[in-house]
Chains A and B, each alone.
Chain A
Amino acid sequence: MLAYLLRRLGLIIPTFIGVTIAAFAFIRLLPGDPVLLMAGERGLTPERHAALLKQFGFDRPLWEQYLDYLWGALSGDLGNSLVTKKPVFEEFFTLFPATLELSVCAIAFAVALGIPAGIIAAVKRGSVFDHTVMGSALVGYSMPIFWWGLLLIIFFSGILKWTPVSGRISLIYFFPPVTGFMLIDSLLSGQKGAFTSALSHLILPTIVLGTIPLAVIARQTRSAMLEVLSEDYVRTARAKGLSPMRVVGLHALRNALIPVITTIGLQVGVLLAGAILTETIFSWPGVGKWMVDSIFRRDYPSVQGGLMLIAAIVMLINLIVDLLYGLINPRIRHTG
């Protein structure tokens, strides 16, 4: 297991360095030099321009600048936002819990619906249920989620008036963040109605962000389950006279879930990309919306830092998923 871990780490380090180079290059690929970008519309005298270039170290060789950047990145210094002047690192991690909460809820929603739907579809293969699930999964998979979100707002917020249109919690509630997860914080605050408010704000974004993972997980569970159900050991278990529930739930499911877990892991990137759209539609104060806003505000240090941190998070989660995968599937650990 240790060898496997080391091998995976050995793969991830060059990729991480590459990501930092990409983020470093990002700000230098923009038209105009970094100082002009930071100055924005104000304009600079040539002397001040040169002085600033020197002050920020942009006159030094590129590799020196890069090493500085890398060192800063590793110690949590990603520069300051041009708009708020606060450290990018701090800004990112103030907003990240909101994205994390939304993503966790979305993936939980997708797993809770997708896996049972996939299993039943596989067991009742060819039935109306199977066709309905697979048909809906294909529609879900093809869904432009930004439109899906707008439709849900029209229906549930506009017509039925069940859910709020945007934000994380009603403005009448205020309490200091403890965990950063609004659902938990609102419970901890003990304020009446706070939890319900947080929950009602969370429902639609969760559905929107969870739709594509739900479709993918349902399809993957069904096909993995079908494959496993045709294996000899399942037939043996059936022949032994085990109840269908036991055969499917215990024998087949354990092996069928292995590829499904990989699929769930692969949804991390999908979730973070989807979070950009979902957060924009619902004005959800997370890192996705912050990235889009930063791009529009030309707040390039924020964009640069956000790019790197998000890629690092995706890589980290993929690593964890890989390790889990090695844990449940010994074959990978020994050969892969």
Chain B
Amino acid sequence: MSEQTANTPELDTRPAGRIALLIEFWQYFRENRGAVGGLVFFVFICLVAIFADFIAPHGATTQYRDALLVPPVWQEGGDWRYLLGTDAVGRDMLSRLIYGSRFSLFIGCVVVSLSLFAGIMIGLVAGYAGGATDTIIMRLMDIILSFPSLLLALALVAILGPSLTNAMIAIAIVQQPHYVRLTRAAVMGEKSKDYVTAARVAGVGPVLLMFGTILPNCMAPLIVQAALSFSTAILDAAALGFLGMGAQPPTPEWGTMLAEAREFILRAWWVVTFPGLAILLTVLAINLMGDGLRDALDPKLKRS
């Protein structure tokens, strides 16, 4: 390959199309051991979430009145029926954690989809239209960004009422300005390039120009941001759950589980430790993946 391209630069003999891009991407991604580790763990969590009904030893809300605050199996007083112990009302910790993975992944997916969709739409319009439209949109985004994200999400949940759905909507609203800014910046960078002008001259309408021509070339930073905000979404939703403004008990959402466990911290370490560890490991895995994605997709941002 190298010989040929060296002689005739315009001849690129690499396999063309999306598959080639994917292969190239994978080769970069593979080099980053942390990212691969993150990916493996993330796939593991996904599998746990999908097959929760088959692997969870007990129901998520089943209470065993004869087994309140049973410690994990390796500690004195542990019981093999409850590997990670039970909580204050006799629910199996392991099963609740397993079912909880569903909520975290669901929250991440919904929040990222909502904020990505809204952010791209608004950002495209701002970047493409320019002028007053752009100024108004960006000032609005500045206003949203001048509130600390968790505080704004809390206030929105206060308006909408505490529930998992409303927490997700609130977090999506708080996160979308980041996508708007990225999309707008990318669109403004691409807009004046020759291929866009060529498409415009060829008679491509504004909608197709925005979505068909410009957007595909702005995707790299958006994908990276999506990966990173997936983890922020999980963290924020868990924080809202912890404050009692997210998923409501007895939902086995990890943050909500922590809130319920708070009063037992000095008596039963396991009810506090495991849900938080689950949040940390999931978020860490996604962040590792996000770093790898950024390095593989965006050579400009590559860590030296």
Q: Is A29 an interface residue (CB 8 A)?
A: yes
Q: Is A132 an interface residue (CB 8 A)?
A: no
Cα(A292)–Cα(B288), bound, Å:
32
Contact (Cβ within 8 A) A273 B287: no
Q: Which residue of the partner chain B has the closest CB to A280?
A: B243
Q: Is B139 an interface residue (CB 8 A)?
A: yes
Q: Is B140 an interface residue (CB 8 A)?
A: yes
Given A154-B269, A277-B243, A310-B151, answer yes or no on A144-B146 (Cβ-Cβ < 8 Å). Answer: no
Partner of A15, one of B139, B265, B275: B139
- Among A11, A151, A230: residue with most chain B CB under 10 A: A151
Q: Is A314 an interface residue (CB 8 A)?
A: yes
Query: Interface digits, A191-234 against B, CB 8 Å rule (1 contact, 0 not)?
Result: 00000000000000000000000000000000100110010000
Q: Is A150 an interface residue (CB 8 A)?
A: yes
Contact (Cβ within 8 A) B244 A296: yes
Query: Interface digits, B211-230 against A, CB 8 Å rule (1 contact, 0 not)?
Result: 00000000000000000000
The binding surface of chain A is classed by DSSP as helix
Cα(A147)–Cα(B283), bound, Å:
13
Contact (Cβ within 8 A) B265 A144: no
Distance (whole angstroms) from the CB of B37 to the closest CB of chain A: 11
The binding surface of chain B is classed by DSSP as helix
Query: Interface digits, A129-157 against B, CB 8 Å rule (1 contact, 0 not)?
Result: 00000000011011110111011011001
Partner of A292, one of B235, B243, B272, B277: B243
Distance (whole angstroms) from the CB of B88 to the closest CB of chain A: 15
Cβ–Cβ < 8 Å partners of B163 in chain A: none
Partner of B147, one of A31, A153, A314: A314
Chain B residues 71 to 120 lying within 8 A of chain A, measured CB to CB, are none
How many chain B residues touch A (CB < 8 A): the figure is 46
Partner of A273, one of B34, B148, B291: B148
Q: Is A70 an interface residue (CB 8 A)?
A: no
Q: Is A50 an interface residue (CB 8 A)?
A: no
Cα(A139)–Cα(B231), bound, Å:
12
- Among B149, B150, B244, B273: residue with most chain A CB under 10 A: B150
Q: Is A241 an interface residue (CB 8 A)?
A: no
Partner of A269, one of B149, B161, B231, B303: B149
Contact (Cβ within 8 A) B262 A314: no
Q: Is A78 an interface residue (CB 8 A)?
A: no
Cβ–Cβ < 8 Å partners of B154 in chain A: 276, 291-292, 295
Contact (Cβ within 8 A) A142 B142: no
Q: Is A26 an interface residue (CB 8 A)?
A: yes
Contact (Cβ within 8 A) B276 A151: yes
Given A26-B159, A30-B159, answer yes or no on A18-B304 (Cβ-Cβ < 8 Å). Answer: no
Contact (Cβ within 8 A) B147 A307: yes
Q: Is B155 an interface residue (CB 8 A)?
A: yes
* Sample (25) of A-B pairs whose CB atoms are under 8 Å apart: A18-B143, A19-B143, A22-B143, A30-B159, A31-B161, A139-B280, A141-B287, A142-B284, A144-B242, A144-B279, A146-B239, A147-B276, A147-B279, A150-B262, A154-B266, A154-B273, A158-B265, A223-B303, A273-B149, A276-B154, A277-B239, A295-B154, A295-B155, A296-B244, A300-B158
Interfacial residues, chain A to chain B (CB-CB below 8 A): 11, 14-15, 18-19, 22, 26, 29-31, 138-139, 141-144, 146-148, 150-151, 153-154, 157-158, 223, 226-227, 230, 269-270, 272-274, 276-277, 280, 291-292, 295-296, 300, 303, 307, 310-311, 314-315, 318
